[in-house]
Structure formats: C-alpha cells, structure tokens
Amino acid sequence: MAERITIRKPDDWHLHVRDGAMLRAALPFTAANFGRAIIMPNLLPPVLTVKEAIAYRDRVVAALPEGSTFQPLMTCYLTDATDPDDVETGFREGVFTAVKMYPANATTNSAYGVTDFQRIRQVLARMEKIGMTFLIHGEEADPEIDVFDREAVFIERRLTPMLKDFPGLRIVLEHVSSREGVDFVRAHAPQLGGTITPYHLMLTRTDWLGYGNRPYMYCMPVIKRREDRDALRKAATQGESNFFLGTDSAPHPVTKKLATVGAAGLFNSPVAIESYAQVFAEENALDKLEAFASLNGPKHYRLPPNAESITLEKTVWTAPEEVKVNGPEERALIHRGGEQIQWKVVA
Ligand code: NCD
Ligand code: ZN
C-alpha cells in the first residue's frame, strides 16, 4: 500500500489569483485543495477600498467551480493615503480580513505601495485597536540595498520599530526567505507570524542561476542561499506554531515572464500542497504537515480550522506544464510543470 496521510483541509495564507481570464484559469487549482485563501490585493489598479474588495470578492466567487465551498479572504492594499475608518468599516463588515503592505516598488504591482512609514501610523494604531491582522511584504526597496539583503534590512529598519511601537498589532511577515527572517519571526512569536512558500523551501539561488538563468524561479523575495533554505525547512517542519503555509502562487502570462525585464512571481498552486508534502516527507516530518498547513494559520488569524480533510498519497504523477488563459494564444507556465511530483491529493 502506498504511504498516505490525512490532514485537516489546509488554507493558503498568501495567494495571488489575479482577475478576469487569469482568475478563471488559476483559481480552480486552489479551490480543489484549500478551504480558504488570503487573496492578495495587488491588482492593477489595486484593491484599495471596501467597495473594491466587495466587487473583487464577487468576481472571485463567480470564478469558483460549481459546488465549491472555498472561501476567499479579502485584503486591503495599504497606501500612504489609506483611511483608517474605511479599514475599520471593511473589517467590521467582514469584507477585509487583513491589510497588506507593500513598500513602494518592492515587487509586482507595488507602485502604489507605502513610501512614507510615518503616514501609515494611524492605520496601524487603528488595526491594533480593533484586532486586525497586518500583512507585510518585508523588503527594503532602497536601490542602495543589495537585493539579497532586502529582507534583513527591512527587519532592522522597519519591522523592529513597528513591533515596539504597536505591541498589540498582530503581524505576518509574508514569504519569509532568509535565515535572518526565520530567526526574527521565531524571536517575536506570537505577535509575529511568518508564511513560507513551497519554492523557498525547495530551491537555492544556485538552482535558479547556477545552470542557466531560470525565469520560472524568479520571484520576490528572491531565492537565497542553501543556509537560508535550510533554516526555512527547519522552521516549517519542526512544528513551531508561528510559521504557516502561504504559497505566494502568482501567475503571469508567459510574455511577461519571458521578457527583457521579466515579472517576479511563480505560479505554483497546481503543485503546492504536494510540494509541501514532499518537503515534510524529506525531513521525516509528515506528522507536522497538518500543523503548518491547516492549524497554525487559523490560530494566528484567530479563526477556526477547517472541518473537512484531505488525503495525500505517495504516488508519482507529472505536473501540467501550463494553463491556457485566453484561448490558445495566452498561457501561464506552471512552476515545476512537466516535473515528476511525488505526492498526490487523492481525496
Ligand atoms: C508577486 C506577484 O506576482 O504578484 N510576485 C512575487 O514574486 N512573489 C507579488 C509578491 O508577493 O511579491
Ligand atoms: Zn505574494
């Protein structure tokens, strides 16, 4: 009999599903295996207000396969001008689950992000007061800072003072990518949690750049050294309660990925829970997968875990290479597409 594991249905605490044809192409992969997902607001234009979030939520729900019970959790894109009252209204009405902060120009569609950290203090104070979670793309986008040091410098310059100034504010450092990030999240539990992507658990920058330039390993924060990857694998698989699943699955049309200036982001939702299972199996920690994938996130967000469950089996299958987005001409390539995947969701 093949090896099997049954866990509570997981949630994805960091997901980009885009809009329009891309939304319809990407969302079914997440809805198949996950109960809920934090839907990132970096559309063009971004999701700034309660009204925009309601409209986007409706489009996400409309793109769900028939009979799906998947629940999108919406977020508010923070700018220098975000109104604390609008944030509070959205939270109280059950529209916004969290606020997401992108430093301006740190990543895909972050041009409207925060340029002046003094100007967001009122929003942070309000979120602290009402118990709303704050999600951070933790990278310092200053051109003086080396791209591999962006996370560590952000932690030192921005996150450390923020935790002190708003001790009651629940924060998630999204897609933790470095040893420094892991150590910092661990040291600031439970106020601070961290999501970890499947690709930061599997790849090193040598995989990305060492044998040809592989644009399908290019994402923000960039993939780092082996030591960073190993620190992330420890954090995820040891059962520490402040680290949890966030795929950062981020599809782009192939023309945007394979351009002279290529877009950051990996479309990994078609192989996400399977990739996490592989990492946990490699670390002899399959018994910790449920905590990471299905329990720690809800605990940080103060939500109940899902009631349903899923079963994974150790069965080899080949990941699809791409999805068609808009007829045959537009497509998005899948991270690990064409590769043999070790685990499969069977129920
Ligand atoms: C994300 C995207 O494409 O929206 N890209 C990425 O490289 N991760 C944005 C983000 O989360 O940084
Ligand atoms: Zn992201």
Ligand 1 pocket, 220 CB below 6 A?
Answer: yes
Whether the CB of 5 sits within 6 Å of ligand 1:
no
Ligand 1 lined by 180 (C-beta under 6 Å):
no
pTM of the model: 0.98
First to last CA, the chain: 16
CATH code, 269: 3.20.20.140
How far is the C-alpha of 289 from the C-alpha of 7, rounded, in Å? 8
Give the mutation target among 40, 107, 203 for probing the ligand 1 site: most ligand atoms within 8 A of CB. 107
- CB 253 less than 6 A from any atom of ligand 1: no
Residues 6+ apart with CB under 8 A from 118: none
- Cα 297 to ligand 1 centre (Å): 20
Looking at the 3D structure of the chain, how many domains does it have?
1
Residue to mutate, 39, 43, 140, 220, ligand 1, most ligand atoms under 8 Å from C-beta: 220
The boundaries of the domain holding residue 118 are: 4-345
- pLDDT tens digits for the chain (347 residues)? 779 999 999 999 999 999 999 999 999 999 999 999 999 999 999 999 999 999 999 999 999 999 999 999 999 999 999 999 999 999 999 999 999 999 999 888 999 999 999 999 999 999 999 999 999 999 999 999 999 999 999 999 999 999 999 999 999 999 999 999 999 999 999 999 999 999 999 999 999 999 999 999 999 999 999 999 999 999 999 999 999 999 999 999 999 999 999 999 999 999 999 999 999 999 999 999 999 999 999 999 999 999 999 999 999 999 999 999 987 779 999 999 999 999 999 99
Catalytic site residue 116?
Answer: no
Q: Provide the pLDDT for residue 329.
A: 77
Ligand 1 proximity of 265 Cβ (cutoff 6 Å): yes
Q: What is the pLDDT of residue 6?
A: 98
Q: HEC string of 136-153?
A: ECCCCCCCCCCHHHHHHH
Q: Which ligand is nearest to the CA of 42?
A: 1
Can you give the pLDDT at residue 80?
96
Pocket test for ligand 1, best of 12, 14, 16 (most atoms within 8 A of CB): 16
pLDDT at residue 326, as a whole number = 85
Tell whether ligand 1 has an atom less than 6 A from the beta carbon of residue 137: yes
What is the reported pLDDT for 242? 97
Backbone angles phi, psi at 8, to 5 degrees: -50, 150
Residues with CB under 5 A from ligand 2 (ion): 248
Under 8 Å between Cβ of 30 and 249: yes
Looking from the CA of residue 14, the nearest atom of ligand 1 is: 11
Q: Ligand 1: distance of its center to the CA of 264 in Å?
A: 6
